[in-house]
Structure 1
Amino acid sequence: MDHQDVERIARAALRELGLPKPELTIEQVAGQPGQWRIDIHGNRQGPGTLKIRCGEGSTAQWVRSQIIDQYTA
């Protein structure tokens, strides 16, 4: 899974959670393949940072579930 995939899934999941156009910074965690950090700038409804794990073979549903679970925790 690459940066564009993670961003597309994150934007769709956050839109479902009520953030229509979130300003995001998405980076792969240095030295940890398959781990990504999603910073949500200016977010007042939930956490400002999400950390997800995904790699080759991960499904969009798996990534979406991690985002929704962390955001609503």
Structure 2
Amino acid sequence: MKLQDVERIARGALRDLGVSDTAITVTAHEAQPDTWRIAIAGTHGPTILTIRGGSGSTPQWIREQVFNQFQSR
């Protein structure tokens, strides 16, 4: 899974959650391979999601993680 793929999937999932005009930043987690950090800018400070997704991960798996973590914050 490439950074661009994770960002595209995360933006789509967040749009479905009603967070479409917020700046997000996706970075690779340096200490853990196949782990991504998604920083979502917000009025109460940034929200950080940690997503696992390697070469065999499906877009649906990434999307589910974004949904679950964002809704549980």
- Tell me what 1:16 maps to: 16
Q: TM-score, normalised on structure 2?
A: 0.90
Q: TM-score, normalised on structure 1?
A: 0.90
Q: Which runs of 5+ in 1 are unaligned?
A: none
- Tell me what 1:54 maps to: 53
- Tell me what 2:4 maps to: 4
CA distance in 2, matches of 1:71, 1:31: 23
What residue identity is the alignment partner of 1:11? R
C-alpha distance after superposition, 1:5-60 (max 9, x if no partner): 0000000000000011220111000031100000001255xx71100000001000
Amino-acid identity (%):
49
Contact 1:39 1:48 in 2 (8 A): yes
After TM superposition, the structure 1 = structure 2 runs for residues 25-40 of structure 1, keeping only pairs within 5 Å, are 25-40=25-40
Q: Which runs of 5+ in 2 are unaligned?
A: none
CA distance in 1, matches of 2:8, 2:43: 18
